[in-house]
Amino acid sequence: MRADVLLMKQHNINAVRTSHYPPDSRFLDLCDEYGLWVIDECDLETHGFGQVGWDRNPSADPRWRSAFLDRVERMVERDNNHPSVIMWSMGNECGVGDNLRAMAEWARHRDASRLIHYEGDYDSSYVDVYSRMYVDLDELALIGMGADERTVDPGADAHRRALPVILCEYAHAMGNRPGGLAEYEELFDRYPRLHGGFVWEWIDHGILQRAAEGPNAGQSFYAYGGDFGEVVHDGNFIADGLVFPDRAPSPGLLEYKAAIAPVILSIDDGDGITLTVRSRFDHIDTSGLAFEWLLEEDGTELGGGTVEVPPVPPRRTARVRLDDALAGLAGRASGEVVLTVRALQAKDRDGVAAGHEIAFAQRVLAEARRQENGRAETVRVAVSPNGYRLGDAVFDVNGRLARLGGLPVVVPTPDLWRAPTDNDLGWPGQAKAWRELGLDRLEHRTVQVRSIDDELVVETVSMAAGREAGIRRRMIWSACPDGEIELRVHLHPVGRFDTDLAALLHDSSRVKRGTVPRLGVRIGLPGGDATLDWYGLGPGENYRDSRLAARLGRHRATVAELQTPYVCPQENGNRSAVRFAEISWQTGERLRITAPSGVNVTLRPWTSEALDAARHTTDLVPDGRLWLNLDIAHYGLGSASCGPDAWPAHRLYPHVCSLLVRLAQVGGRPSTGERDSGVLRCCSEGSFVG
């Protein structure tokens, strides 16, 4: 329990709801000691009666009143001397009924010093906070403005509108999750009535087991519902926490820490470089924080130091002008210059050590001066009965790339599929729509191959087996004198992406336009132990609606470290805004990647299809290749395993787009005697409308 409390304090969490039951009283001792607010909730939940229309719900049955009262009485009498407890909760998801009102009246009579909470009765006539769960952004904004739907009873409605609002659950931390926290925080900050919310939940409840057979026999994994022969179970729905079963922080916890940081930092470089510090503290100033700056060019340090920030009072803002020398350093650089400012714990306090990072902000002060890689000298396409050759690249008769220097390559193919996340599988079910469209079973066909002097033009079409959705692709290959092979990919959706399920997902019979999980290309590379060094967002995985914790810089990870071990395998490991990277094998071969516009990169020892088929981490076995995805965009993560889908701005629709890639082997086995150096350069052109 102490480990849990310390992790919460280190990740900016300031409150705990003890969801559905009072905790061990020693947990409240720790909350008293370290400083966590607690909504103490009695052990009451009857929402199974919702399955039968709330018929005979105990909350409304007088015969159950003494049992209801017994539960709240025992909680209040046991815990009322804990200063960490700021609210008594009558439970949640129990429908409506006079037994709940009786509980609230007893608690208020016994202890008038604390607020009363209950979620489930939206009249809220007997509580002190208006509590909701999994409210979408549109409705939450209406609640913040006081423009939400009225209740039948005018008196109850007036009472409810005067209450502060708390989301007792608002983001579901299941699998690769949760997305959209930034949008919630923006509303919490905008409307004084909105007082924040609680993520469901703290820990994945997997049970440690060992694989009994298969290539990973003896290796450990976390089991879940159905793994022990039980007939009725919830599958992996118990793996919905911010920490893994071994209490290792998940990417979701790091994202949450960034979203709820008690200070918001922003950098402006309009007229000089200015740091703005906005305090979200309610009772203390920022004198307990120290501030540092770091200036980097393409991830290499140029300089750093401290920033003197006067104490900022609670809920106030301060602006500090940074040293003009910073601008001078940035102006002399030729690469991309990024300024990072961090807020750190100044002294040890409440289990958080001095130097621990509380919040950070970044700003690109100067973009890289791009160098054009023109082809003053052309390299002609060599045609033979066996196929084509262009510099170091060898193609078969269908124009499919077979080898790049000494690297055997699986031809780049359009990729519209990802192993569904738990949120993709939730309600309303984007993954269902994607499978209905057949995006998990594309078949690829070469339409035409043309050799035009120094260009090899390959036209292909990829269609879903048994469906009408697909993508047309034009690949234009050319070679540069320095050994690079350039690939220009133009993707154009074809066929029909509209389905009845898509109409349901958009809540409109008139809108049937389907979405896609990803849009990019997949390339097969040699397998084996390899490392990825990259300059982009990291160090952990990040997605379009979950990147608050990611920072722009240089990062390094092995292929194994790039994978996030979710209890139930699913899409993971994406790194966004990658400007350049390098894949290096233990054999000495290397592939460098530069992308001035930034691309999404994943690198795995198995395909998305294998990831989709796996049910536990021990089901995943390297297949002898590394699979590199270069994606223009992904569908957002959202929270649909038990909450709202990705917000419209983070959805991905089929759209015409292009990708520019330069490929070359660097080091390792010799190619064919020609210059063995170069880069893999990728830059996305075009965009998706989200």
Answer yes or no: are the C-beta atoms of 72 and 89 closer than 8 Å: no
Detail the DSSP E strand segments found in 141-219. 165-172, 194-200, 207-210
Count of alpha carbons within 13 angstroms of residue 324, beta-carbon side: 2
Q: CA–CA distance from 92 to each of 30, 46, 107, 241, 406 (Å)?
A: 25, 8, 16, 19, 62
CA distance linking residue 338 with residue 43, whole number of Å: 51
Annotated active-site residue in 41, 169, 484, 541: 169
DSSP letter for 631, please. Answer: E
User: What is the 3-class SS of 98-148, one letter each residue?
Assistant: HHHHHHHHHHHHHCCCCEEEEECCCCCCCCCCEEEECCCHHHHHHHHHCCC
Count of alpha carbons within 13 angstroms of residue 636, beta-carbon side: 24
Q: Which two tokens stand for residue 666?
A: 């660097």
Q: CA–CA distance from 269 to each of 299, 322, 366 (Å)?
A: 19, 10, 10
Q: Which of 270, 318, 327 is nearest to 295 (CA)?
A: 327
CB atoms within 10 A of CB 229: 6
Annotated active-site residue in 41, 73, 77, 93: 93
CA distance linking residue 585 with residue 665, whole number of Å: 12
CA distance linking residue 125 with residue 175, whole number of Å: 37
CA distance linking residue 92 with residue 493, whole number of Å: 46
Q: How buried is residue 671: exposed, middle or buried, by Cβ count under 10 Å (0-12/13-18/19+)?
A: buried
User: At 399, which amino acid appears?
Assistant: G
- 169 as an active site residue: the answer is yes
- 486 as an active site residue: the answer is no
Answer yes or no: are the C-beta atoms of 359 and 262 closer than 8 Å: yes
R_g (Cα) of the chain, nearest Å: 28
- For residue 647, give the 3-state DSSP assignment: coil
User: At 410, which amino acid appears?
Assistant: V
- For residue 278, give the 3-state DSSP assignment: strand
Q: CA–CA distance from 319 to each of 103, 227, 274, 277, 278 (Å)?
A: 49, 56, 7, 6, 9
The angle formed by the CA atoms of residues 220, 225 and 229, to the nearest 5 degrees, is 90
- For residue 239, give the 3-state DSSP assignment: coil
CA distance linking residue 238 with residue 205, whole number of Å: 6
Which amino acids are annotated catalytic?
Answer: 93, 169
